Amino acid sequence: MNIIVSADRNWGIGCQNKLLVRIPQDMKFFRATTTGKVVVMGRKTLESLPNGQPLSNRTNIVLSRDPKYSVRGAIVRHSMEECLQTLREYDTDDVYIIGGESLYRGLLPYCKVAHVTRIDHTFEADTFFPNLDEDPEWVQTADSEEQTYFDLEYEFCRYERVRGLRCV
């Protein structure tokens, strides 16, 4: 499985259920990478999307602890175990974990690749992604040229798990 995330210098990913910043090229990369694939998200992440609706041209899997929660156009699972069981039905290379924090942390052990847009800025954040630079199970294998959006510098990085992968 894959993770796709945008993070600041401190690995901050959001504040008050919103992205820290919307960088058009990052949004374009996200769309190009996940279109036609399976995206897995928590309920709050779904609700933070435009109109709170599932992403088009993707299979959307939403994790919610509320047993009565449902949303049209998405597969809803109510536990991590149910979610993992459902993910067995898909090619793991086509699965992208897209947030939020608890889902990233819960599914990171099952992921082989992390696509991280690293933003060279520190924002006020209340949600964070695990620091892959300090995790011996992960190594950065690629990065793009540094890019600029107004006064923000960022780059697209690829991390790969070198050991410790759990099977789905």
Supply the Cα-derived Rg of the chain in whole angstroms.
15
Which domains occur in the chain, in start order? Answer: 2-140 (3.40.430.10)
Among 156, 165, 118, smallest CA distance to 138 is for 165
Is pLDDT above 90 for 163?
no
Beta strand extents in 64-112 (DSSP E only) = 75-77, 95-99
Give the per-residue pLDDT at 107: 97
Q: How far apart are CA 25 and CA 30, in angstroms?
A: 9
Among 160, 159, 63, 165, smallest CA distance to 109 is for 165
- Secondary structure letter of residue 28 according to DSSP: H
Q: What are phi and psi of 133, to 5 degrees?
A: -65, -25
What is the reported pTM? 0.95
CB 97 within 8 A of CB 107: yes
CA distances from 157 to 114, 123, 153 (A): 8, 19, 13
Longest dimension (CA), the chain: 46
Which amino acid type is present at position 72?
R
pLDDT per position as a tens digit, 6-57: 999 999 999 999 999 999 999 999 999 999 999 999 999 999 998 999 999 9
Is pLDDT above 90 for 165?
no
DSSP H/E element including 21:
none
